[in-house]
Chains A and B, each alone.
Chain A
């Protein structure tokens, strides 16, 4: 093939935020490949300066309507580390429970409304629903259960209002919490069935050697706490993150590109990274489900990400039930400590991967410098590496199909461009 081919997607659909894809091929080789993020930057770190430390969780939660708990908890933990605050086991358990709700609703939105149409050959979920109404109905019902967890514990499903530095403003109504049990039990079974249906999708065959970075906790599948580990043996405390990771500005993106210091290649955060690093911490049932749906112990096909998300959804349902069984009302609902100056860090597993926070506080508890490193910025280099692999493996496809495969490949990462640019307002600028 000697002619030039250009695959261009001006405004990607079915991703969160504003991004574009540009691929130029010449004589069967990739000349140029860029995943562009063109949302204007949002400058959240700057607007936090001078604000009281107690405001950081609610302000940063506004970065994302899909993963607010990741911001609420990351910011809270960072402040707690400055103040030397240790939350009680009851508060810790309740935080993990609400985080399960976030994983459930975020993953189901992505799997069935944004990503599944790629696998089944539809332009969007509405078209898909015409032929697969039960799939969509079931996904909506399960997503609603995730939202209800957020509502009962957090006060509302989007940007919950009940979380604060040190814990919660008040403990949830025990009856409302208990009222979720039936829904979670049927939800777990339904989620397993959905995972089996996703396993019947057709998965393009691509292999990628990933450097997987995630939290790791010896006793549980890491969600809200742990050490930062990599599949190549890195094992650091959260406050060492900036010694090992950095961000670089590139012209084609208003979001910084994450990189690991002393490492040329990209790294991966998110479901596949978590699964590869923490498979042993999954429950027995979740491990069995992973095997049943055909996932290897180490996932190297990026298109398997949708299956890993479904395994995590099932795990989150199971874990929510376990936490409900063991539930003890936190009393008090939050712990407190005197303000002091210092630097604090926090990091949790947002649905899309690790989200790192660091704040400096002065003696009055006012924020000085702030830094937030969300998962999508960290994944940008890996996204481009995956695209390169996908394009190389599919050069014989006509342009339309190749573009389809590229978009499907970007959605493997469930990118949240709004998080990556911390951008607040939507403005469509179609070229």
Chain B
């Protein structure tokens, strides 16, 4: 079976931006022999290098869409997040842009789950806001469930 890769994206020193890394920390409590856990700071080209050649990948990152902090959204290869949803820097080459570029280059993992968690506060040195900390549990459970299901059938469109 193909190895699963889960990437938690963000900076734990920037408040809710650390939620992706917090999910990885929580996943480490579970025995997951076939799952590789990684953290990344969110620069698009580096992310693409991490998932290039992988079949089954989960990405989890803080999101800024204007909804309630702690809101969870799931994205798939058929419905990728729109540019700007996962702000990373003023260069605007973050997760959403990297996913789109990967799709164009045919490098997107066939089996992909993107979990966005709405952040509330990104101030340096702050802990996760309570709603976002709760979402860490929900997101972890959702990822565990996704990992326990069989890989998506190919062709893609047949599986949903």
Contacts and interface: CB of A to CB of B under 8 A. Distances in A.
Given A126-B100, A147-B46, A136 B105 contact: yes
A426 B45 contact: no
A158 B101 contact: no
Interface in B52-106: 87, 89-93, 97, 100-101, 104-106
Contact of A126 (B49, B89, B97): B97
Contacts of B41: 158
A113 B94 CA distance: 13
Contacts of A417: 90
B104 A65 contact: no
B43 interface: yes
A201 to B, nearest CB: 20
Nearest to A417: B90
Given A144-B45, A144-B49, A158-B43, A426 B104 contact: no
A18 B93 CA distance: 15
Nearest to A130: B104
Nearest to A125: B101
A143 B90 contact: no
A426 B106 CA distance: 31
Given A130-B104, A133-B105, A18 B48 contact: no
Contact of B91 (A16, A130, A133, A144): A16
Interface of A is mostly: helix
Interface in B96-146: 97, 100-101, 104-106
A183 to B, nearest CB: 13
A126 B104 contact: yes
A136 B90 CA distance: 20
Interface of B is mostly: loop
A113 B45 CA distance: 11
B43 A426 contact: no
Contacts of A66: 91
B93 A113 contact: yes
Nearest to A136: B105
Contact of A109 (B87, B91, B101): B91
* Residue from B90, B93, B104, B105 with most neighbouring chain A CB atoms (10 Å): B90
A129 B104 contact: yes
A15 to B, nearest CB: 9
Contact of B101 (A136, A144, A157, A418): A136
Contacts of A144: 45-46, 49
Interface string A89-129: 00000000000000000000100010000000000011001
A140 B89 contact: no
A423 B87 CA distance: 16
A426 B101 contact: no
* Residue from B48, B91, B104, B106 with most neighbouring chain A CB atoms (10 Å): B91
B101 A129 contact: yes
Contacts of B46: 144, 147, 157
Nearest to A156: B41
A17 B89 CA distance: 9
A17 B104 contact: no
B95 to A, nearest CB: 13
A16 B45 contact: no
A170 to B, nearest CB: 22
A26 interface: no
A298 interface: no
A125 B97 CA distance: 10
A130 B100 CA distance: 11
B90 A140 contact: no
Contacts of B101: 125-126, 129, 136
Contacts of B43: 157-158
* Residue from A17, A126, A426 with most neighbouring chain B CB atoms (10 Å): A126
A374 to B, nearest CB: 15
Interface in A182-200: none
Contacts of A244: none
Contacts of A17: 90
B46 to A, nearest CB: 7
Interface in A140-187: 140, 143-144, 147, 157-158
Given A16-B90, A126-B97, A144-B49, 17 more contacts: A13-B92, A66-B91, A109-B93, A113-B93, A126-B100, A126-B104, A129-B105, A130-B104, A133-B105, A133-B106, A137-B105, A140-B48, A143-B45, A147-B46, A157-B46, A158-B43, A426-B89
19 contacts: A16-B90, A18-B90, A65-B89, A66-B91, A109-B93, A113-B93, A125-B101, A126-B97, A126-B101, A126-B104, A130-B104, A133-B104, A143-B45, A144-B46, A144-B49, A147-B45, A417-B90, A418-B90, A426-B89
10 shortest interchain CB distances as A-B pairs: A129-B104, A126-B100, A17-B90, A126-B101, A426-B90, A130-B104, A133-B105, A16-B90, A140-B45, A418-B90
